[in-house]
């Protein structure tokens, strides 16, 4: 085994309530509506919308920042239509973020003194399907929060799949029962060793894992090397 150092935190998400307006790109005459972010980074956001928007929809978004509106194109990565009351929760993935737009993001993060809630990291992990007798599947956690994670796996799993996930960190083992919320789809032409991103929502964090998870998210990780076992 070798230890590969991973640098950069462009995937780290910050707890921020930022107002924005949006409209659906595919619908002419669609009125602009307003929403709020719950967390945010260069790549996407967890947002509250006044309506339920279908997964896969494309939105034109304008975030209100101290240096003016930040205009972005966003794809709806996941939605929670089963929740009966507004605001409706959605996950957005941004595309076409230029260096100028990244500078606007940095100004926004600095002005709001944002607190990380979804930590960019690279941790080796193993997963096993709940209720299925099968070998453990190796994977890599790419970002982590107290209620979920983004994980790369060698094969795509369908949304709704339940699994157990376990990772060993410098602060102790993190283990949880989880459900797949969204996943990359298999595509022709990808290399055989390609991995697929999955968004997991934790159903239950094992009791002995609560302290290591909180320690990582509270900033103790800044004093430790960010590594992944390969």
Is the model's pLDDT at 103 over the cut of 60? yes
- Integer-rounded Cα Rg, in Å, for the chain is 18
Matching residue, tokens 């780290």: 12
Residue 81: predicted pLDDT: 67
Q: Which letter does DSSP use for residue 80 in this model?
A: -
Residue 2: predicted pLDDT: 29
Domain at 17-113, CATH from 2.40.10.220, 2.30.40.10, 1.10.10.1100, 3.30.565.10: 2.40.10.220
Q: What is the CATH number of domain 117-229?
A: 2.40.10.220
Residue 21: predicted pLDDT: 95
Phi, psi of 226 (to 5 degrees): -90, 115
Matching residue, tokens 């298999």: 186
- Residues making up the chain, counted from first to last: 230
pLDDT in tens, 61-80: 999 887 789 999 999 988 87
Average pLDDT, the chain: 82
Q: From CA 225, how far away is CA 230, in angstroms rounded?
A: 15
Judged on CB neighbours under 10 Å (0-12, 13-18, 19+), 116 is buried
What number is the average pLDDT over the span 6-14? 57
Residue 227: predicted pLDDT: 36
The boundaries of every CATH 2.40.10.220 domain in the chain are 17-113, 117-229
pLDDT in tens, 111-157: 766 666 777 788 899 999 998 888 899 999 988 888 899 999 998 89
What number is the average pLDDT over the span 158-180? 93
Is the model's pLDDT at 33 over the cut of 60? yes
């Amino acid at each position: 085994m070798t230890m590969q150092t991973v640098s950069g935190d462009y995937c780290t998400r910050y707890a921020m309530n930022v107002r924005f307006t949006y409209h659906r790109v595919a619908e002419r005459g669609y009125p602009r509506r307003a929403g709020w972010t719950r967390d945010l980074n260069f790549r996407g956001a967890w947002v509250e919308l006044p309506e339920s928007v279908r997964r896969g929809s494309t939105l034109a978004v304008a975030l209100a920042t101290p240096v003016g509106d930040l205009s972005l194109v966003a794809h709806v990565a996941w939605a929670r239509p089963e929740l009966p009351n507004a605001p409706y929760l959605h996950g957005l993935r941004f595309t076409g973020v230029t260096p100028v737009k990244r500078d606007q993001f940095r100004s926004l993060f600095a002005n709001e003194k944002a607190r990380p809630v979804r930590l960019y990291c690279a941790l080796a992990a193993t997963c096993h399907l709940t209720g299925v007798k099968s070998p453990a599947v190796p994977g890599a956690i790419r970002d982590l929060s107290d209620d979920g994670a983004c994980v790369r796996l060698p094969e795509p799993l369908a949304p709704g799949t339940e699994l157990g996930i376990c990772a060993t960190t410098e602060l102790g083992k993190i283990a949880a029962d989880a459900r797949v919320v969204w996943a990359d789809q298999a595509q022709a032409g990808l290399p055989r060793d390609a991995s697929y991103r999955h968004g997991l929502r934790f159903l239950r964090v094992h009791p002995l894992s609560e302290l290591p998870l909180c320690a990582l998210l509270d900033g103790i990780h800044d004093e430790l090397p960010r590594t992944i076992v390969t």
